Amino acid sequence: LSDRKADPGHRVRVVPAICEAIKGQIRTGASGPGARLPSTRALAAEWGVSRTTVTAAYEQLLAEGYLETRQGARAQVVRGFDPHALKSIKDQQPAPAMRLSDYGQRLLDFAVPPQSDASRLVADFRYGDLAAADFPTIAWKKAINATLLHRPSRLRYDDPCGSVALREALQGYLWRARGLRCEVDQIVVVNGSQQGLDLCARLLLNPGDRVVVENPCYNLALQTFVAAGAELIPLAVDREGMRTDGLCEARLSYVTPSHQFPLGSVMSVRRRQELLAWARRTGSYVIEDDYDGEYRFDMAPIPPLQLMDSGERVIYLGTVSKTLSPTLRLGYLVVPPALSTPCSKAKRLMDRHTPSLEQEAFAAFIDSGSYERHVRRVRRRNGDRRAALLAALSEHLGNQVTVVGADAGLHVVVWLDGVPQERAHELFERAHAVGLGLYPVGSLYLPSPSVSPPHIVGLVVGYASLSERDIVHGVRRLATMLEDLQATPVRNKHLTHQPSRRGPTAG
Ligand SMILES: Cc1ncc(COP(=O)(O)O)c(C=O)c1O
């Protein structure tokens, strides 16, 4: 017993137990309002604990308002309250149903992919992941350390639009890397592109407003607009990017002109001009998501749409999620000057500002030249991965697949020409069973009269997190699995269609 008394952990466990026991007596009426509690000595003996432990329990109940004390007198149950109100939650009437705002209610309909454990897979082709080994740990650590050494004497909230040092560094970087010219005041540092999209939706959309989007499209952008209550106008995508002949009255348009997500086409100059003319005519804004602009392989860099915009209609969106890490949550908007102040006010309400340490470190990282050196290095590494993937697909799957969107970015779309959509479920089940992480392109299509969903299965194949060896291994396994699938009769014969050569909107 004395050992237990001396054990501080024991006290931590016993104090709540004593409190609960006394609350139980109060609840059941065994100790009514005004009832005196046993002395600390008596209760300590009863529980086999020290008096200090009992005193701690009484103090806790005093603090919670169950007990009261007077100088020199024993603690007693507080008077003037209804003990029945203390019944445990489950004894009370059921709580009223959760009531969400319209925004909250809309979120309930969104599918959220499970957080899968990539380590259990032989090859996980999940798009968006990067190889941890590619992260410039030493250079980043140096930038963080340099930032910490230059700590100001006072810790204060930063400018909601971001640290001036980072915005100046980004201004230079965007000019050098993308040919984009802007004022520092036009840059808003955000927690990844996702916050940039959310900021735009909050500032530019009212429930019922229309948003023109590419079909297929980046899911989180769609969900952001739908959550804001917008109506989506999906326009088909072909080799020239989003088709502009379907443009109609809308508040906003969201496009990925440098590398359409997911199909990979580049928006032609003609379509860019039509989109900008539409925006000027209708007073709408265009969000240009340049999510992987740093990765060009077999093509010249494509200047951003923002460069062609004389009417201040384009909001440019960039991120470090493809160059450094998606876990940093660092992104930036370049907004037309008129939007700077509303962005600053909205960002202030969202989170005051993006964490200063990471912002300053990123500024130092850019200023030292490390960022551009790193981008060149990861571009080479991902170029090698891409070459390994394309070679393996050609060697093991040859004419069974059509690959699109391989000129840029960190993913390709692989259409499985012989696999009808009706076998998709079976295919993904088999993939999982053999340790392959495969992701369908079909789920990125929106129902629309102008775009019929693909008749064959297509995969969004991300390769930036895998070694070349694992890529080749994964493709071989995919080939074997497809062979087995083709050799197995279709489970549900009456559902099968004749597969077309490829998905209808493949670029
Ligand atoms: C089209 C598109 N935009 C943006 C992003 C990056 O988002 P974030 O900067 O929020 O990580 C992705 C990531 O996969 C993407 O596919």
What per-residue confidence (pLDDT) applies to 484?
Answer: 93
pLDDT at 93 over 90: no
Q: What is the pLDDT of residues 200-253, one digit of tens each?
A: 999 999 999 999 999 999 999 999 999 999 999 999 999 999 999 999 999 999
What per-residue confidence (pLDDT) applies to 462?
Answer: 97
* Mean pLDDT for the chain overall: 90
Candidate of 193, 194, 217, 439 to mutate for ligand 1, largest count of ligand atoms within 8 Å of Cβ? 193
Residue type, 385: R
Q: What is the mean pLDDT of residues 178-190?
A: 96
Confidence of residue 73 (pLDDT cuts 50, 70, 90): confident
Confidence of residue 488 (pLDDT cuts 50, 70, 90): confident
pLDDT at 503 over 50: no
Cross-strand bridge partners of residue 376: none
Confidence of residue 6 (pLDDT cuts 50, 70, 90): low
Q: Which of 460, 229, 157, 201 is nearest to 317 (CA)?
A: 201
pLDDT at 3 over 50: no
Q: What is the pLDDT of residues 299-322, one digit of tens each?
A: 777 789 999 988 799 999 999 999
* Residue of minimum CA distance from atom 15 in ligand 1: 291
What per-residue confidence (pLDDT) applies to 507?
Answer: 29
Question: Which atom of ligand 1 is closest in space to residue 289's alpha carbon?
Answer: 3
Q: What is the mean pLDDT of residues 494-505?
A: 39
pLDDT at 19 over 80: yes
- Which positions ≥6 away from 271 have C-beta within 8 Å? 240, 241, 242, 243, 244
What per-residue confidence (pLDDT) applies to 311?
Answer: 74
Helices (H), 179-268: 192-204, 219-227
Bond preceding residue 216 cis, omega within 30 of 0: yes
Q: How far apart are CA 260 and CA 235, in angstroms?
A: 13
What per-residue confidence (pLDDT) applies to 409?
Answer: 93
Q: What is the mean pLDDT of residues 66-94?
A: 75
Q: What is the mean pLDDT of residues 364-371?
A: 97
pLDDT at 375 over 70: yes
- Token pair 């809309």 is found at 106
Q: What is the mean pLDDT of residues 7-31?
A: 84
Q: Which of 42-51, 318-327, 340-349 has the lowest mean pLDDT?
A: 42-51
Q: Is 344 exposed, middle or buried (0-12, 13-18, 19+ CB in 10 A)?
A: middle
What per-residue confidence (pLDDT) applies to 451?
Answer: 81
The percent of residues above 70 in pLDDT, for the chain, comes to: 93
What would you report as the CA-atom Rg of the chain, rounded to the nearest whole angstrom?
Answer: 30
What per-residue confidence (pLDDT) applies to 383?
Answer: 96
Question: Which atom of ligand 1 is closest in space to residue 326's alpha carbon?
Answer: 11
Q: How far apart are CA 478 and CA 325, in angstroms?
A: 28
Q: Which of 173-187, 219-233, 356-370, 482-496 has the lowest mean pLDDT?
A: 482-496
Q: What is the mean pLDDT of residues 257-267?
A: 95
pTM for the model = 0.84
Q: What is the mean pLDDT of residues 417-421?
A: 94
Is the shortest distance between the CB of 216 and ligand 1 below 6 Å? Answer: no
Alpha carbons within 13 A on the beta-carbon side of 151: 6
Confidence of residue 113 (pLDDT cuts 50, 70, 90): confident
Is the shortest distance between the CB of 173 and ligand 1 below 6 Å? Answer: no
Please tell me which residue, 87 or 451, carries the higher pLDDT value: 451
Confidence of residue 463 (pLDDT cuts 50, 70, 90): very high
Name the DSSP letter for residue 322: T
What per-residue confidence (pLDDT) applies to 299?
Answer: 76
Is the shortest distance between the CB of 53 and ligand 1 below 6 Å? Answer: no
- Which positions ≥6 away from 476 have C-beta within 8 Å? 392, 396
Q: How far apart are CA 386 and CA 499, in angstroms?
A: 28
Q: Is the dihedral of CA 161, 166, 171, 177 positive or negative?
A: negative
* Residue of minimum CA distance from atom 12 in ligand 1: 291
- Which positions ≥6 away from 184 have C-beta within 8 Å? 164, 167, 168, 171
Q: Which of 70-74, 150-154, 220-224, 393-397 has the lowest mean pLDDT?
A: 70-74
What per-residue confidence (pLDDT) applies to 151?
Answer: 79
Q: What is the mean pLDDT of residues 388-413?
A: 96
Question: Which atom of ligand 1 is closest in space to residue 127's alpha carbon?
Answer: 14
Q: Are 375 and 323 in contact (CB under 8 A)?
A: yes
What per-residue confidence (pLDDT) applies to 506?
Answer: 31
* Residue of minimum CA distance from atom 3 in ligand 1: 291
> Apex CA 441: angle with CA 278 and CA 258, to 5°?
40
What per-residue confidence (pLDDT) applies to 500?
Answer: 39
What per-residue confidence (pLDDT) applies to 2?
Answer: 46
Helices (H), 72-211: 102-107, 137-149, 164-178, 192-204
Q: What is the mean pLDDT of residues 127-153?
A: 94
Confidence of residue 69 (pLDDT cuts 50, 70, 90): confident
**Count of CB atoms within 10 A of residue 96's CB?**
6
* Residue of minimum CA distance from atom 16 in ligand 1: 218
Candidate of 191, 199, 261 to mutate for ligand 1, largest count of ligand atoms within 8 Å of Cβ? 261
Crossing angle of the two packed helices 370-397 and 137-149, in degrees rounded to 10: 160
Confidence of residue 492 (pLDDT cuts 50, 70, 90): low
- Which positions ≥6 away from 48 have C-beta within 8 Å? 1, 4
What per-residue confidence (pLDDT) applies to 5?
Answer: 52
pLDDT at 147 over 60: yes
Going from the Cα of 322 to the center of ligand 1, the distance in angstroms, rounded, reads 8
**70-74, 161-165, 301-305: which is most confident:** 161-165
Please tell me which residue, 497 or 444, carries the higher pLDDT value: 444
Going from the Cα of 193 to the center of ligand 1, the distance in angstroms, rounded, reads 6
What per-residue confidence (pLDDT) applies to 87?
Answer: 61
